[in-house]
Structure 1
Amino acid sequence: MTGLTPYLAPALFLGFAGFRLALSSGARSDPVQRYICGFAAFSGLALLVNAPASLALLEPLVPTEPVIWFTRALKAYALTWLALLAVVLISARAATRGPRVRRQHQAALLFQAVAAALFVAADVRVTDEAVVIDGDTWLFLLYTALFVAYGSYCLMLLCAALTRHASGVGPGRVRTGLRILTLAVAVGVVWTSWGLTDIASVLESGRQPLGEHPVATVLSAITAALVLCGSTITLWGGPLTAPVRWLRARRRFRALEPLWRALHRALPEIALAADPARRNPELRTAEFALYRRIIEIHDGQLALRPHLDPAVPKLVAEAAARGATGGGAATIEAARIAVALDNRRLGVVPGANTTGSDTGTDAGTENGPGPGGEDGRSTVEAEVGWLVAVTEEFVSSPLVAEVREQARARTGTGTATAP
């Protein structure tokens, strides 16, 4: 594999380690952050050194044989950090965690010492394209198998800890992050186990390809990406999702356009901006523009209160009983606004001639019910959803059009015009 592709995984690992360290102020007090950063940093460094271009660059300065051993040692040390992370996740109390951490460090040191001894005893020589075993081939095979076994042990230990930890976490981003990390560990097991192909190569030809295998490079990049996603998922609700929020806010801003425009045409004073007719706010200001539009719509509804017809809910119910589609809360609110706009344009004030006892509805009611609480607007999200539903009914509901006609007939003012 040539070019910059072998540097993708180390860039992801090292960039992630730097990002987490900066975010957690060095991660000195949090062992979870420290071990995750350690794994990412040492994995990235190992892959960086083992890239073909890096080996070629180091060849005039350092013998390649120690570099090959050094990259394997770095990978093993990176996997040791994952085993330490598993210990932290399993051991909630620091009193029981300390001895387990020490035992894990001792096991790691023992592995590194045995691996180094096997590598030296195998008498490895590096050519331009391969690692050649001039000494005992079986010692080198044992060295490779030991590395694969140690790496798989560390990863499986973490996989068990993550699965156990996720079972005690409720639904949400944290559990999703743990599951993504579990998937990263599973891919990491395959990546580490790919070293078994080196054993097959040595048995067949007595040599091992130099550098990272193309498949191993891809697996390392996938592992790095999954670790990055799983470890940062709790941040996705913040700056990382801002563009999505902006796009959604702009779509909803446009969705409220018909209702807002009808109110603004009748009541220009509700506009809070110098350019109220602008239909496409800038992406970064879309959320603010949406909030402003909601306020303007509410101001319009308040200004229409004297013109609300208390008979509208009853007319909607009667029309729905006759088989007309709709009749829900959003339909009633849309009909109230549509009829009130007609009444304002014609100077009709229903409350001056009609009492609430005639219709069973109070003419002074501000707005109809909506979703999410007593007034349906316990959150901004619920409020936007409510107004979008009202706008859709206001624009396209045949029942709203029918109620407008009936309201006009009741007041004797003729045929209503389109909103």
Structure 2
Amino acid sequence: MRPPPLACLRTARPRPILRCSTRRSGRRRGLCPGVTSALTYLCSLGALLAAVTKLRLPPGGSSTASRRYLAAALATLSLSVAMSAPATLALAAEIEPIPNGAQLLAHSLTMLSAFCALGMIEHAVAQRGPRRVAVRAATLVLCAAAMTFLLFTADIAHHGDLANAYGHYPVILTYFSLYLGYLSWSLGRFVWLMHRYTTTHQAQPLMRHGFQLTVLGAGIGLFWVLWQITGLVAAAAGHHVAPDAISDVLAGAAVVTGAAGATLASWMPVVLALPRWLRAELAHRRLRMMWSELLTAVPHVAFDAAGVTTALRRAERAEYKLYRRIVEIRDAELALRPHAPPEARSKIQAAAEAHGAGEPEVLIEAAELGIALDARQTKQRRPACPAPPVPAERLVEPPDLLREAAWLARVSTALHRSDLVAEVRAEAAQAWNGTAAHE
């Protein structure tokens, strides 16, 4: 009596394939499981962060159906990618109720992610009603139920590469036909609708680039589906297909590119503002010593700006702090000007020209400021002298925050490190001491 087909499937063993997980052969041409798992988890984390980003509403924003669809698509995609990692499959093999149940769950989550992504773009472009959504949801449920039934009736042993190991079985071939067919239809329609949306709607450049990146991710996903189909056809034909890194790379690229495109408008402004923040922060730090010395001498020039920066972004907050520091330094210079003798500028200029020093205006401003600080400490006060002329090279271009900060940084360096400035300050201090002793 011939055994029933299911019994044959129970007793049949998978055909040997060239696989890297078999340590004896060591002939794997793809990535090793540890590296593959690490990269897979990183891709899953990226998709999860993208989902959280879409769930966070901007100030004054409201949650829309398209936004919720997209967040659900990214969240389910993150879970699917994490479930398909080799480390997760190896761990699930010990606890899953049916063999390869973890792969079934990962495939179902991937289909659910495609359902949500397609629902997002259909809601934005085609304005489909609840009836169309119900039809697509019923199709998804029927496909997932049929895949569950096929995997349960196959009664096969656990294997990390289900398609290559059992792809020549009709039951598993039908299983993957449903899975890959649903994905190819969903991704193909998604790409077409996204292209239609980008060509018929005027969007900001950043949003348009995000749409293009999302379409690129869906296109890579379609190419991954085609690659899986070729492998499945080869396995069904009885060829021994050794898994390589192409499938892993395509899947990771599709996930990362799609998640990056879906959230481009959220993270790209932060990336573009990073150089602004860094330049302002470095300039702010370079002025710390000079600012601290001046505010110690004239603390009343400091102003309270509590609560002003709370509504500013990171780069704007750094630029505001730099602007505030520059204003306080300039106010301190104005407050210290009456303490410097009117003839100090001509003496400093003559000394700078005699020494042939570069940037004489920097040295003159630093020496005047140093003399004024020393005079204030000794309670010396002179008749108010006119404001020094602005150097001609600083009048050529309009005022700029970073340019002004760079000028003050050079003044600070000369104030604390220039031998000429120290010599002029010492001569001025000796003159004051001699005048005080004579009096």
- Band of TM-score, shorter chain: 0.5 to 0.7
The corresponding residue for 2:139 is 110
Q: 2: CA distance between counterparts of 1:60 and 1:341?
A: 76
The Cα of 1:341 is off from its aligned counterpart by 5.8
Specify whether residues 225 and 141 from structure 1 end up closer, same or farther in structure 2 by C-alpha distance, changes over 3 A only. Answer: closer
The corresponding residue for 1:153 is 188
The Cα of 1:233 is off from its aligned counterpart by 4.8
The corresponding residue for 1:194 is 227
How many residues align structurally? Answer: 356
The corresponding residue for 1:276 is none
TM-score (structure 1 length as normaliser)? 0.58
Which one of the candidate residues 405, 413, 430 is aligned to 1:387?
Answer: 405
Which one of the candidate residues 67, 73, 78 is aligned to 1:33?
Answer: 67
Preserved CA contact (<8 Å) 1:12 1:221:
no
The corresponding residue for 2:158 is 128
Specify whether residues 67 and 250 from structure 1 end up closer, same or farther in structure 2 by C-alpha distance, changes over 3 A only. Answer: closer
Q: Secondary structure at the match of 2:142?
A: helix
Specify whether residues 251 and 98 from structure 1 end up closer, same or farther in structure 2 by C-alpha distance, changes over 3 A only. Answer: same
The corresponding residue for 2:282 is 251
Q: How does 1:16-415 map to 2 (within 5 A)?
A: 16-18=50-52, 20-21=54-55, 29-52=63-86, 53-54=88-89, 57=92, 61-64=96-99, 68-89=103-124, 91=125, 97-99=127-129, 102-103=131-132, 105-107=134-136, 109-110=138-139, 113=142, 117=146, 124=154, 126-129=156-159, 130-135=165-170, 139=174, 142-143=177-178, 145-157=180-192, 159-160=194-195, 163-164=198-199, 168-170=203-205, 172=206, 174-175=207-208, 177-205=210-238, 215-236=246-267, 248-256=279-287, 260=291, 267=297, 290=322, 293-306=325-338, 363=386, 376=399, 382-392=400-410
Specify whether residues 309 and 255 from structure 1 end up closer, same or farther in structure 2 by C-alpha distance, changes over 3 A only. Answer: farther
Specify whether residues 375 and 142 from structure 1 end up closer, same or farther in structure 2 by C-alpha distance, changes over 3 A only. Answer: closer
Q: 2: CA distance between counterparts of 1:166 and 1:337?
A: 58
Specify whether residues 208 and 35 from structure 1 end up closer, same or farther in structure 2 by C-alpha distance, changes over 3 A only. Answer: farther
Q: 1: CA distance between counterparts of 2:103 and 2:182?
A: 13
Preserved CA contact (<8 Å) 2:89 2:103:
no
Q: 1: CA distance between counterparts of 2:393 and 2:216?
A: 42
Letter of the structure 1 residue corresponding to residue 401 of structure 2: E
The Cα of 1:7 is off from its aligned counterpart by 3.7
Preserved CA contact (<8 Å) 1:8 1:221:
no
Q: Secondary structure at the match of 1:41?
A: helix
Question: Which runs of 5 or more structure 2 residues have no equivalent in the other structure?
Answer: 1-31, 160-164, 304-316, 350-356, 415-430, 432-439
Q: 1: CA distance between counterparts of 2:132 and 2:388?
A: 72
The Cα of 1:221 is off from its aligned counterpart by 3.9
CA-to-aligned-CA distance 1:310-350 (integer Å, 9 cap, x gap) = 9x9xxx9xxxxxxx998xxxx97986675576688798979
The Cα of 1:169 is off from its aligned counterpart by 0.9
Letter of the structure 2 residue corresponding to residue 169 of structure 1: Q
Q: Secondary structure at the match of 2:166?
A: strand
Letter of the structure 2 residue corresponding to residue 126 of structure 1: I
The Cα of 1:297 is off from its aligned counterpart by 0.9
Q: 2: CA distance between counterparts of 1:108 and 1:226?
A: 26
Q: Secondary structure at the match of 1:194?
A: helix
Q: 1: CA distance between counterparts of 2:76 and 2:412?
A: 61
Q: 1: CA distance between counterparts of 2:266 and 2:110?
A: 28
The corresponding residue for 2:21 is none
Q: 1: CA distance between counterparts of 2:259 and 2:52?
A: 12
Letter of the structure 1 residue corresponding to residue 107 of structure 2: R
Preserved CA contact (<8 Å) 1:158 1:185:
no
Instruction: Note the aligned Cα RMSD (angstroms).
Output: 5.8
The Cα of 1:153 is off from its aligned counterpart by 1.1
The Cα of 1:82 is off from its aligned counterpart by 1.2
The Cα of 1:79 is off from its aligned counterpart by 0.8
Q: 2: CA distance between counterparts of 1:260 and 1:60?
A: 65
Letter of the structure 2 residue corresponding to residue 194 of structure 1: W
The Cα of 1:193 is off from its aligned counterpart by 3.6
Letter of the structure 2 residue corresponding to residue 252 of structure 1: A
Preserved CA contact (<8 Å) 2:224 2:250:
yes
Q: Secondary structure at the match of 1:205?
A: coil
Q: 2: CA distance between counterparts of 1:385 and 1:230?
A: 36
Question: Which runs of 5 or more structure 1 residues have no equivalent in the other structure?
Answer: 274-285, 317-323, 353-362, 377-381, 397-412, 414-419
Query: Percent of aligned positions with the same letter in both sequences?
Result: 19
- RCO higher in structure (CA 8 A, sep ≥6): 2
Q: Secondary structure at the match of 2:76?
A: helix
The Cα of 1:34 is off from its aligned counterpart by 0.8
